[in-house]
Amino acid sequence: MTDDRHIEDGIWLLCSNSAVRRASRQLGQLYEDAMGDTGLKGTQFSLLSQIARSGEPSLKNLAEAMVMDLSALGHTLKPLLRDGLVELVPDGSDRRVKRVRLTETGTAKQRELTARWQVAQDRFDRAFGKEKSEELRRTLAFISSPDFARSFGKGEAD
């Protein structure tokens, strides 16, 4: 049986920001449940995965990729640094620039969590539909892009 409460509760159909945030909280909880007792939050897993994909990104580049400001990134990195999952290293050509890299422990934890994440991802695709899931991710990737932010910002002058 389909739950039609979302249709009756019109506020979620009127405000894109509220709808996305509400869905994000729900998905965050579901994915974190799938992560089990690893001690890491979904944002920390995303951060580990982004670092793994990027090699040794600068703090600035990592913040941009995660669509976070530097202070939020620093807050999210603190427990990962403390637990020895990541380390900050000076850039080879500009010592003022700090780069983030996974430690061996961090690499192992990221691989372990990727397997758990895949279970959650498969559940999402089954519940939402694989094609709709792919389209949703493309849409959200566009919304989180600098191009969308620029386009959205131009609307303020109208």
The DSSP code sequence of the chain is: ----HHHH-THHHH-HHHHHHHHHHHHHHHHHHHHTTSS--HHHHHHHHHHHHHSS-BHHHHHHHHT--HHHHHHHHHHHHHTTSEEEEE-SS-TTSEEEEE-HHHHHHHHHHHHHHHHHHHHHHHHH-HHHHHHHHHHHHHHTSHHHHHHHHHGGG-
Give the start-to-end residue ranges of the domains of the chain. Answer: 5-144
For the chain, give the mean pLDDT.
89
pLDDT digits (tens, 9 = 90+) for 27-39: 999 998 888 888 8
Tens digits of per-residue pLDDT, 42-84?
Answer: 889 999 999 999 989 999 999 999 999 999 999 999 999 999 9
Task: State the pTM of this model.
Answer: 0.80
CATH of 5-144, one of 1.10.645.10, 2.60.40.290, 1.10.460.10, 1.10.10.10: 1.10.10.10
